[in-house]
Every structure is written in C-alpha cells, then in structure tokens.
Structure 1
Amino acid sequence: MKLVVSRLCIILVLVGCSLGTYAKASEDTETAFNTLLDEIWQYELSVQPVSATGYGVHLFDDRLADTSPAGLAAEDAQYRSFLARLATINSAELSRNEQITLQVQRYRLQDYIDQYAFNAHFMPLTSESGFHSSLAFLPAMTRFKGVEDYQNYLARLAQFPRIFAEQIYWMRQGIATGIVQPKAVLTGFEDSVKAFIFEKPQQSEFYQPFLQLDSVAINAVEKNRLRSQAEQIIQDSVFVAYQDFYDFLLQEYLPASKDNIAATSWPKGLEYYQNRSNHYTTTTLPVEDIHQLGLSEVKRIRAEMQIVLDGLDFEGDINQFINFLRSDPRFYAKTPEELLKQASYIAKKMDARLPQLFNILPRIPYGVAPVPESIAPKYTTGRYVAPTRDDQPGYYWVNTYALDKRPLYALTALTLHEAVPGHHLQISLAAEMQNLPNVRRYSYMSAFGEGWGLYAEYLGKEVGMYTNPYDEFGRLSYEMWRACRLVVDTGMHVKGWSREQAIEFMLENTALSEHNVKTEIDRYISWPAQALSYKIGELSIKKLRLKAQEKLGERFDLRAFHDAVLAYGSVPLSVLETNIEHYIANQP
C-alpha cells in the first residue's frame, strides 16, 4: 500500500509539473499573441492615418498615407514579417476565441500582401469611386474641437498634391504593364473628378468645416487666420491636385484603358481572379462551381417569381411583368425627398420589428441620407456608411439620382440590407464588442457581411415587411440580382462573356432598371469577384440555420440563433460554421 501511494504521489507530482508547464506555456503564448496583435494594430494605424482618425485615434491627424514606392514596399515587408511571426504562434495553446482572432488577423495580413503582389495599387479606382472621392470623407471624419484640429486638417489638405502625384505614378505603372481599367466602365468617370473643382474655395466640400467655425470656442483672430489658410490651401493645393488628376485622366489614362473587360486580360489575371474570389467568399470554391451555382439559383428564384405573378391579375410572362414594373410611373418617386421619406419610413417600421429577431441590439443609431451628388451618377443604388467618429451615427445612403430608375417596389429590400437588420446592425454590434481585439471589431469580411445583408432582406419576409405582391417581387428581384452576380461576374472575367451579354442576362432575369443594371455590371467589371460574396454568404447562413433547426427542433430559438451568428464579429464562413456547431452543442 505504501509503495502504491508513493508511486501515485510521483505520478501526481509529474502530472502537476506537466500541467504547470502547459499552463505556463499557454500563458506565455497568449501574452505573445496579444502583444503581436497590438503591435500589428498600432502599425496599421501609423501607416493608415485616416483610418486611425476614424477609429478615434488622433495621433496621426495631420498625416496622409505614404503611398510612394518606398512607402508601399516597406509596408509589404512589414506585413510579411508580421505574417511570419503569426505563424510561430502555437494555436493549440490559445482559447477558441483567440484562435478565431488568429484566423482573422492572418486573413487581413494575407490580403495586404496579395494585393501588393498582384499590383492592385496600379488601379486605385473602380467604375464608381476612387482615391479622389475617398478623400472627400475627410471633413466628416475629422474632429474639429479646437485650433489644433483645424491645423491638422489643413496639414492634410496641403498634402493632396503629393497623394495625387503618387497615385498618378502608380496608374502610369499600370499603363506600362497593362494593369488598367477597361474603357467600357470609365465613360464619364472624369466628371467625378471635375465635381471637386470650383471657382471659389468656399464652394468646396473641403471648406465646409470652416463654415462651422463660429460655433467652435476659438477666438476671432484665430478663426480669421484659419479661414484664410483654408482658402489658400484649397485653391493652391486641393483644386490643383484635382485638376492635375483630371488632365491626366483625359490625356493619358482614358486613352490607354483596355478594350477587354476580363480580369484574365491582366498579367496573372486568372490567378488574380481566383485569389480575389477566395478572399471575398472566404472559400476556395472553383470559379466554374460558382458559375453553376449561380445558374441554379437563378432557375430556383425565377420559379418563385412565377408564383408571385400567378397570384396577380397580370396577362403576360415574367419578362413582360418586369417591363411593366420598369415603365409604370406609380412605382417611382417624383422627388428626392419622396424617395428619402419612403426609405426612412421603411427603416423605422423595421426598427419596431427587430425585437422579434434579436436579443441584442446595437447602441449606435443610424440616419438616412442621399448619396453625395459628386458620385451619384455612377454610384450603386444604396450603401451603408459606418460612423467615423464616436459622436456620429451610421448612415444608410439612398441614391436619388435618376429617380425614374429607383423603383419603390425594391426599396424595402434595399433598406433592410443596408440599414437594419442588415449592415448597420451587424457592423455596429461588432464595433461595440469591447471584449474583442480591434482586428476583430473592425475587420469586414465580405462573404459574412454581405451574406448577412442579403439574409436580412429575407428576414423582412418573416416579420411582414413585404406587404404586397409588388414588394415581394422586388425582394425576389433583389435576390435574383445577387444570384445573377455569380453568373455574370464569373462569366465576364473568366468565361469570355461580353459586357452586353452580361447586361442582357441581368435585364432578362431581374426587375432592376437598365441604368442600374449597367451601373452594376460596370462595378463588377472594375471590382472583380467582390460581387460573389453576397450569395455565397447568404446561402451559408441559411444552410446553418436549417441545420440548427433540424438539430434543435422545438429548442430552436431564432433570436438566439441570430445572436450566435453575430456574436463573434465578421468571420470567415468556415469559422461561422464552427461557431454555429458550438452554439447547437451548447443549447440546453
């Protein structure tokens, strides 16, 4: 007996030593991991100073990014170093939540590295926007509480000539190597640049903060000095930079833009497209599989459209009904105010239904506003813009340009996608998760976020938001729109489809106006594979919901399921699947 006890004591001592060593290793690994995460985040803030301002960090408010060749090369080297150090972390010694963080951080770093490797910086614009229009967010993003804030803002405006010169340099590299946008998507693009050039500085949106000076606690002498400086810098730096870019577009870039619309016409184009597909969908699905999935979804949704049509007193087929919807004035707002008011009404109506779908709701409010006039003509029909300061709401943007192309029957689906329970709810909840590291709170994975947005449109059906057959057909048309994306995006970039063929396919199968269809097709051409994320993500969420319902039966709670989907922020679809399996296994 004594011998047995002695051996047991020895075993316990050895086990205790082993557990103590493991606990110490885990603690050391966790500390090293969190230290690395913070180092990466601080570095990102330093090289992306405008983003830092948006996150409420004001250490770099007088800076703009260094996009020079040396600057971007240094960033690439640093991101590669971070990724290598991340690979040394033993994930087995991390908690489940930390393992998710590891995957998100790896995803984020890999994207930086891939984009640089494929020379994506040679094309700093898409059909609907570019670096020049992104800078227009500066007035809204900047804190204006005192003289220093205004001086920092002016210091940024004074750097516009450098930023524009660096981007023009990269676009010239694109011309030299064939990495340019197609002619088809750039028609009238120069107008989006000209929109920022005025006769007087006071007319510029960059001058707007100085119109608010009277409400800021700064003495009169300082106010006059700041206004004078602003006028000079906007006239001599901002307007000059935009004019130089405008001239470059007309004289060099537009004439050199390519005729072929496919990503495969760029150097390493097929490899680049598959890389972007993997990035945006967070899967490794082959392009051909995505194309066939799109065709299958188009067929299924068209059958559901026919069911709606069968319930109406309409003589004709789906395509005739779509033409009727496009042409009947009853389905279109007469003024921008009418469209905005209807969008606001729908949004508020959905607000009241959110408790039916969620236990946890965000604190951050949102507003409804028009897409800025400077970008509206070539911009998508709506978008969510997250707040850039802690004293701001999010905004659901509605495009009020070309009102006869913005159908009211689709407005409910659009509102649910962009506002609630779509992007505003999901993004705000993630940003408010103080227990998560910054990389988790502020990373956005398109398959998850856009998949959630499309799923949010469907949720409106479950809480009675589509009150008539036209709105329901509009919802199906929007779902069809995302299914068509799988077909036309892969079709144009890999399978040899023409722009006209893609437009015809969209017009044939959706109730989108011709203007919207052309705008969307140009977006897909100039932003390869991003459009694949919506349907891939939505189908994954619906599949996981069905799995949870089948496994849990009467124990399934829709609100708890939605909370579980959103509980970890934006994550790859494989991680989402694991999260839901964990949720199912832990239900009482």
Structure 2
Amino acid sequence: MRPNLLVPPVLVVLLLAASACREATTTPSSAGAGDARTPTQRELAALLDAEWEWRLRENPQFATTVGDHRFDGQLSKESIADEQRRAQDTQRFLDAASKLDGASLPDADRITLDMFRGELEDRLAAFRFREYLLPINADSGFHSGFALMPQTLRLRDAPDYDNYLARLRAFPRYVDEHIGRMREGLKAGITVPRVALAGADAAVGPLMPADPTASPLYSPFKRLPATLPAAERARIEAAGRAAIAEAVTPAYARFRDFLAREYIPGARETLGASALPDGAAFYQLLVKRFTTLPLTPDQVHETGLREVARIRAEMEQVMRKTGFTGDFAAFLTMLRTDPRFYPKTGEQLLKEGAYIAKRMDAKLPSLFGRLPRQPYGVAPVPDYLAPKYTAGRYNGNPPDGTEPGYYWLNTHALETRPLYNLEALTLHEAVPGHHLQIALANEAQGVPDFRRYSYISAFGEGWGLYSEWLGVEAGFYTDPYSDFGRLTYAMWRAARLVVDTGLHMKGWTRQQAIDYLASNTALSLHECTTETDRYISWPGQALSYKIGELKIRQLRAKAEQVLGPKFDVRRFHDAVLANGSVPLPVLEQQIDAFIRRESAR
C-alpha cells in the first residue's frame, strides 16, 4: 500500500509494518515474496513511497502525466504559502533521508539514496533563492503548459471529461496564484529580464480566441467517445464551451493584461542571474543543477572557449569541401540567405524530418540491444507556441502508452528553418535522442518512481548531443552542408557555455551574446536572437548539452580503450540508458561497472 498523506519522518518506520508485506518495487534491489531486505532498505523504500505519494498529491498534473489518475479533477496549489508549506515538507523528507545509513546499503540503493537527497537539497536551495517567483521564461511558462494538458489526459468516459472540466474551471485560481507570485517577484526584484519578455503578452492571445471551440483546450470535446449517449455528449460539449468562455478565456485575458501593464514594464533591466539578490550564489547553484558536476562558472566558460576553437577548425575544413572560396563570415551569410537551403512549405519540412527519422529507425538495431515499445510521430509545433519557440523539440508520451511521443518541428517563419541542420536536429530530438532515451526510461523496471520520471538535464541533453555525433557512425551527414549543419549544432552547444556564463556572470550584453552566436554558427539570425532570450530567461540550462556530451564521449573512449576488441557499442549504449536519467558522476559509476563486467566476459 501507499500512504495517503505526507508522513512525518518520525513515523516513516511505522510504515514498514504496513508496507513490508507487499512486493516492493521502489528500489533496484527490492525483494519480492519473503522480503530479504535489510531494515535500512525497507526504511528507504517506505520513505520513497511516502515522498512519491506526497509529490503526486502536490502536483496533480504531474500525477496525470505519469499515469496516476486519482487527482485528474484537480490543479496544483501555487500560492506562496503553498510553496512555503512544500519547503517545510521537503525539509522533513530530507531530515529522514539524512538519518539513513547509506554505507550499509547495496550499491544500487546507495545511488538511489544519494540521488534522492540531492534532489531534495536542490529543491530546498531553489526555495531559499525564491526561484518560485519565476514561473515563466522567454518561450513558455505555466500558462502555455496548461494549454498542452489535453495531450496527457485520459478521456475515455463521462467521469474523465468531468475531471477535465473541473480543471478548466479551476484555472482562474491557478492563474491568480501565479500572478501573486510574480507580483511578489516585482517587489523583490526577482523577475525575468524585461528584454527577454518582448511579445510575451501578445503570445497569450492565441490561447484565448473569441470562439471557445477554437481554443486548443477545446480539442478533447471534438473527439468525444462514440459510446457516450447523445444527451451526455451534448451536456459535455456545452459544459466545455462554457468552461472555456467563462473561466479559461477571462483568466488568460487577466494574465495577458498583467504582463502588459505590470510585469513587463516593472521587470528588471539587468540581464544576468548574478544581478538578482545573492545572484552569484544562485547562479553557482544552477551550474551545479544543470551540469551535476562541481564546476565553477569560470571553468565552464573556459571549456566553452576550447570547444569553440576546436569545432571552428573542423567547420573551416568542411566549408572548403563545398568549394566555397570566400571567408567564414561570407559562408555563413550565404547559408542564411540562399533559398535552396530552406523549405518552401511546412509540409516539406515535416516530410524531410520524418524521412530522416525513419532512416535512423532502420539503424537502431545495430546501435542498441534494447529498444522501446513506445512509438513516436512527427508533428508541427502548435501555432500558439510557434512564434517564440525553438526549431524543434521532443514532446514525450504518457507512460501508459495511450498516445505516442511527438517530435515537433517549427513550421513558423520557414525562412529561418535551414534544412542543413535538420539531420542533427532530428537525431537529437527523436531517435536515437530524446524519444529513445525517455521511452526507455519510462519502461525501466526496478527503478524507483522518482528516478524513472525525473529528467536530469546534463544526462538528457548530453545524450541528445551525443546522438547527433552518433549520426556520423550511422552514415548520416554525407554531404558537406549537412555535415556543416552538424558542426553548427555542436558549435552552438559549445558557444552556449561561453554565452550563458558570459551573460550571467561576466556582464555580457544581449547583443554581445547574439553576435557571438551569429559569428560562430550558421543558425539563422532569428534563432540567434530567440536562443539568446532563452538563455537570459533560463540561466544555466544551456550548460547541460555540451558538458553532458563531453562526459558521455569521454566514458565511451575509456570503455573502448580498456575493452579493446571486447567493446560492443550496443552493450555500451544499453549500459548508458539502463537506469534512466542520472547525474554524470553516477553515469560514470555505471560505465565503470559495465567495463568491469565486460572485461570478465
């Protein structure tokens, strides 16, 4: 059984009497019938269960996403008081975790305990820096996330639709609580920088059309189950129109007006995270969170500069293979302006992306021993997100397998969507990148729930960038323009190390960051601008990609060197992905263990 309420640490051990009789599934070394676990293992399992139950109750939307439908009619509570209460609860969980003797645990459980403690510590640190006052960034936030909710819902019968209606009707409270946070952020000087918010108010417009049936949130009412009686269908459709017209649309209008009249005019004019209260320490926390390594901003910056120099030399070589005789800057200008490199229609872009993905599908058995059951599709970024969205992104599927994952391609502003980058983008976002990685994590057995559904950016984005590089081995990038596109993406991630630390710790201006990206990559100027605004409003996240990729490639080189002819790339990739998303030091432990096992074969 799972406890129904948050259990104070002093009561955790009492849970064991109720939980010891069940087949535990919360740790890799759990036992089934005739439970042979040690007392510390059972205490850890009970604590993980208690915290997971708390997590699901505190975030009903997350519960729905991971397939727990007990709270489908609720929305999370987002007031500052709720954040304070959650921080107190988190401290109690951390206190309980700190009392467990990790040294007495088997390796798998000790890693789980260390990851659990680290996650709780990061959550508390984020609270101390009042990160909850920043619920939006340059391209997304709680408001756009809500509009994506239909993708995660289970809608099979009238009660399911009534749960969805309850969430729509709760949306005004949800919006007002976020506005309350952001108002407090204005008072405290903790806001998204104003320059990164240009157009944020206008971007809310597509979420509040005059016709409620045109809302993205109305889409579930257009596909009601055929088994519903006609009267029930009519009731649900009418209730959906009313909920959107009377609750959702006015709440979005209120948020748009708040952005336009209060938040954007009052947002800070500084750029860097270091300009926030205790900002240097806050940015150091973000560096640790997004790299999972004990690096300083200066170390990250220097790594970026070295990688930029290395990749630039490769780009120069590939440029010459095209027969171009001008300099590097002229080559970039040619790539950005020659219409042959750009799709004519959104359909062409989607077809090209789908074709690349299917080509890679055929290569997967030669690179992986274990492949996921969950499928994926290719689809355009929704219109209401597209103007300020990235070129492409993976949007995962629910773990119950009722919907596929989707590789989204941005068909807005096609003149900024070069085809020479498309192979690298597709391999990163679809396969063997995020779809493969996330679907395998969802299907992992014997991994605690909090690990199965966590997304550690250095691992996930590092894997995505490694997947781009893996395309060379798989036979992609056969023409020099696509290979230059691959290197552009590699350079982009290296330049992020320089730009992010430059913006947030070294006093760089927005234009300085845009110019650095534009002079070193073949990204469109539009992308250089939107990406810079993303880094300004989401400090630290951009560090994940290159740092993670460097670690994965370093571990592969180590395995190849030690194992020699025993090295099997399929088995190596399975070992990397075996336990879902993990911090890079844990990944290194996994691969060291893999090397020992393979050496003994």
The TM-score normalised by the length of structure 1 is 0.94
Q: Corresponding residue for 1:170?
A: 181
Q: Corresponding residue for 2:469?
A: 458
Shift of 1:44: 0.4
In 2, distance between residues paired with 1:207 and 1:439?
Answer: 32
Residue identity over aligned pairs, in percent, reads 50
CA contact (8 A) 2:417 2:524 kept: yes
Encode CA deviations 1:91-127: one digit per residue, 9 max, x unaligned.
1222211122112222322232222211111111000
Q: Corresponding residue for 1:474?
A: 485
Asked if 1:424 corresponds to 2:431, the answer is no
Q: Corresponding residue for 2:455?
A: 444
SS at match of 1:85: helix
In 2, distance between residues paired with 1:104 and 1:124?
Answer: 25
Q: Corresponding residue for 1:146?
A: 157
Q: Corresponding residue for 2:358?
A: 348
In 2, distance between residues paired with 1:555 and 1:200?
Answer: 63
Q: Alignment RMSD, CA only?
A: 1.3
In 1, distance between residues paired with 2:131 and 2:381?
Answer: 26
Q: Corresponding residue for 2:547?
A: 536
Q: Corresponding residue for 1:383?
A: 393
CA contact (8 A) 1:56 1:390 kept: no
Asked if 1:413 corresponds to 2:424, the answer is yes
Encode CA deviations 1:64-112: one digit per residue, 9 max, x unaligned.
0011222221111111111111111111222211122112222322232
Asked if 1:193 corresponds to 2:204, the answer is yes
Q: Corresponding residue for 1:226?
A: 236
SS at match of 1:383: strand
Encode CA deviations 1:439-498: one digit per residue, 9 max, x unaligned.
121111100110000000000001111120000000000000000000000001100110
Find the partner of 2:563 among 505, 530, 552. 552
CA contact (8 A) 1:198 1:239 kept: yes
Shift of 1:138: 1.5
In 2, distance between residues paired with 1:101 and 1:146?
Answer: 38
In 2, distance between residues paired with 1:309 and 1:112?
Answer: 46
Once the two structures are superposed, the pairs formed by residues 204-223 of structure 1 within 5 Å of their partners are 204-213=215-224, 215-223=225-233
Q: Corresponding residue for 1:124?
A: 135
SS at match of 2:407: strand
Q: Corresponding residue for 2:14?
A: none
CA contact (8 A) 1:104 1:439 kept: no
Once the two structures are superposed, the pairs formed by residues 470-509 of structure 1 within 5 Å of their partners are 470-509=481-520
SS at match of 2:240: helix
Shift of 1:171: 0.5
Q: Corresponding residue for 1:79?
A: 90
Shift of 1:433: 0.7
Out of 82-91 and 126-135, give the one that drifted further: 82-91
Once the two structures are superposed, the pairs formed by residues 257-406 of structure 1 within 5 Å of their partners are 257-388=267-398, 389-406=400-417
Find the partner of 2:61 among 50, 65, 69. 50
Shift of 1:205: 1.5
In 1, distance between residues paired with 2:587 and 2:461?
Answer: 14
In 2, distance between residues paired with 1:247 and 1:311?
Answer: 53
5+ long unaligned stretches in structure 1 = 1-23
Shift of 1:413: 0.1
Shift of 1:51: 0.7
Which amino acid in the other structure matches residue 58 of structure 1?
Answer: H
Find the partner of 1:39 among 32, 39, 50. 50
SS at match of 1:508: helix
Which amino acid in the other structure matches residue 55 of structure 1?
Answer: V
In 2, distance between residues paired with 1:193 and 1:290?
Answer: 35
Shift of 1:216: 3.4
5+ long unaligned stretches in structure 2 = 1-34
Q: Corresponding residue for 1:155?
A: 166
Shift of 1:310: 2.5
Q: Corresponding residue for 2:253?
A: 243
Shift of 1:169: 0.5
Shift of 1:312: 2.5
Which amino acid in the other structure matches residue 461 of structure 1?
Answer: V
Shift of 1:567: 1.0
SS at match of 1:420: coil
CA contact (8 A) 2:304 2:495 kept: yes
CA contact (8 A) 1:417 1:453 kept: yes
Q: Which has the larger radius of gyration?
A: 1
CA contact (8 A) 1:263 1:528 kept: yes
In 1, distance between residues paired with 2:36 and 2:185?
Answer: 48
SS at match of 2:249: helix
CA contact (8 A) 2:376 2:405 kept: yes
In 1, distance between residues paired with 2:574 and 2:361?
Answer: 17
SS at match of 1:195: helix
Find the partner of 2:38 among 27, 52, 57. 27
Q: Corresponding residue for 1:17?
A: none
Q: Corresponding residue for 1:10?
A: none
In 1, distance between residues paired with 2:226 and 2:243?
Answer: 21
CA contact (8 A) 2:322 2:481 kept: no
CA contact (8 A) 1:482 1:531 kept: yes
In 2, distance between residues paired with 1:482 and 1:353?
Answer: 25
Shift of 1:374: 0.6
Which amino acid in the other structure matches residue 543 of structure 1?
Answer: Q
Q: Corresponding residue for 1:521?
A: 532
CA contact (8 A) 1:146 1:216 kept: no
Which amino acid in the other structure matches residue 271 of structure 1?
Answer: A
Count of residues in Structure 1 that have an aligned counterpart in Structure 2: 565
CA contact (8 A) 2:395 2:408 kept: yes
Which amino acid in the other structure matches residue 490 of structure 2?
Answer: E
CA contact (8 A) 2:551 2:584 kept: yes
Shift of 1:585: 1.1
The TM-score normalised by the length of structure 2 is 0.92
Encode CA deviations 1:204-259: one digit per residue, 9 max, x unaligned.
1111111112x332212222111222221111110110011111111101110111
Find the partner of 2:590 among 573, 579, 582. 579
SS at match of 1:586: helix
Shift of 1:25: 10
In 1, distance between residues paired with 2:109 and 2:177?
Answer: 38
Q: Corresponding residue for 1:6?
A: none
Encode CA deviations 1:524-545: one digit per residue, 9 max, x unaligned.
0000000001000000011111
Shift of 1:46: 0.4
Shift of 1:260: 1.1
In 1, distance between residues paired with 2:122 and 2:204?
Answer: 28
Asked if 1:61 corresponds to 2:72, the answer is yes
Shift of 1:299: 0.2
Which amino acid in the other structure matches residue 91 of structure 1?
Answer: G
